[in-house]
A = this chain, B = another copy of it.
Amino acid sequence: MTKPRVNSALIRRINTGRLFHIIRQNAGISQQQLSHVSGIDPATISIIINNLEAAGIVRRVIDAPTGRAGRPTSALSIDARAGYLAGIGIEPDAIRIVLATIDGARCADLIVPGSLDPEAAREAARAGLASALRMVRARRSTLLGVGIALPGLVSLDGQVVFAPNLGWRDLDFAAGLRQSLKCPIRLENDVKAAALAEHLFGASRDITDFVYVMGRSGIGGGLHLMGELYRGPHGLAGEIGHMKIVPGGRLCGCGGHGCFEAYASERAILAELAAQGHPARDVDAVLAACRDGDKTVLAVLAEAGAHLGLGLANLINIMSPRRVVLGGSLARLAPFLLPAAARALDENALAAIRHDVELVVSVMGDHAAPMGGIALALQQFLDDPPVRLGHPRESGRRTK
């Protein structure tokens, strides 16, 4: 049971974080606007901004004259030179590495072959990260944090509990990297990480309550509630793939029957196509067939879309989020899934609740997992900044 002390340091950390994100998402904002937006007093802002500037996190540029009277504003922005964050998305067959500045701007992108052997995957990630750093001509000491996102159950303390696709169980994947990289590392389930990225960098920045639904081979979910990721008491909340939508229905990989992901996942769609004798074996082929107007494929997708809508309706009835974000292969297939899904949603979600829910598609694409890693790293960076922010005001007070 964590009980963070409620004290001044916490206040400062919260307010600093809030200002950081506002600046990040509104580059060029002035201190006065910042005060208006955040509700924090201008004096407090002055102090915090000065600290952030001294730490090299925020940059201040005096604006060009506007032509109007008064002292010109200075434009605040996150200083890209502060250092880099790395996001690592681990999949069975590929490891995606993204390097970003601390404002989340992507500046390097890399895919290396994956491995089911943890040690090999770790080494591949490490080597890939080194390459990425070379790509931007950055020294390893400029790496401020690393976030790792992988498909599987991850405990609250970042241990891999079970990752069926990777064949990993009870593994501290980050430990080895932490040693060799000498910088903070966080590890999280890829869908939860992607939800975080959606909140920090995506289209749902101002949405405090949304559900991220990601189709990979199966279906995962991330609950973002009250402005923060909800992990649940064991870190397993949001695993919606095995919600039962058809009692006694199709056999699922989990051993159960009628699971959500046995009907609406990429794997389920491909399996259904195969069962109907269709040659498509991956999402690209499915999309190509759709564009050619392949009736079989369109029918299968409509069917899957209807089940998708049914599952989402349950999710919406329970959580009443403001938005549902679709990611992964669900996002790619969305054009052909959504019509049926929207119908099923209208039919099965309570009207009063359905009315206020948007169903949108993530724009993150394949970057969802590694950008989730960036989000994790950024969160870590703000939770526990390497330079002590908010230190005592320099004692250079002039006396009258």
Contacts and interface: CB of A to CB of B under 8 A. Distances in A.
Interface of A: 1, 3, 5-8, 10-11, 14-15, 18, 38-40, 153, 161-162, 208-209, 221, 223, 225-226, 230, 232-234, 236-240, 242-247, 254, 256, 310, 313-315, 317-322, 347-348, 350, 352-353, 356
Chain A to chain B: the 3 pairs with minimum beta-carbon distance, closest first: A232-B320, A236-B320, A237-B320
A353 B350 CA distance: 27
A237 B348 contact: no
A350 B255 CA distance: 9
A209 B225 contact: no
A15 B6 CA distance: 7
Nearest to A161: B352
A320 B352 contact: no
A72 B128 CA distance: 64
Contacts of A245: 244, 247
Contact of A352 (B6, B153, B230, B318): B153
A227 to B, nearest CB: 10
Given A153-B352, A226-B230, A350-B254, A8 B6 contact: no
A242 B317 contact: yes
Contacts of A256: 347-348, 350
Contacts of A239: 317-318, 320, 350, 353
Given A153-B352, A319-B232, A14 B6 contact: yes
Please give the count of copies of this chain that the complex contains: 2
Nearest to A230: B225
A243 B318 CA distance: 7
Q: Which of A7, A38, A153, A318 gathers most chain B CB within 10 Å?
A: A318
Given A7-B11, A246-B247, A314-B244, A233 B321 contact: yes
Nearest to A39: B3
Contacts of A226: 226, 230
A244 B348 contact: yes
20 contacts: A3-B38, A5-B39, A6-B14, A6-B18, A7-B11, A153-B352, A161-B352, A221-B318, A223-B318, A233-B356, A236-B320, A236-B352, A237-B318, A238-B320, A240-B317, A240-B318, A243-B318, A244-B348, A245-B247, A256-B347
Contacts of A236: 320, 352-353
Contact of A243 (B161, B238, B317): B317
Contacts of A3: 38-39
Contacts of A234: 320, 353, 356
Nearest to A348: B244
Contacts of A221: 318
A347 B247 CA distance: 11
A282 B356 CA distance: 37
A5 B350 CA distance: 35
A17 to B, nearest CB: 10
Contacts of A243: 314, 317-318
Given A8-B8, A239-B320, A256-B348, 11 more contacts: A223-B318, A225-B230, A232-B320, A239-B317, A239-B353, A243-B314, A243-B318, A246-B247, A256-B347, A315-B318, A318-B318
A63 B208 CA distance: 49
Contacts of A162: 352
A364 B352 CA distance: 30
Nearest to A44: B7
Given A3-B39, A347-B256, A244 B321 contact: no
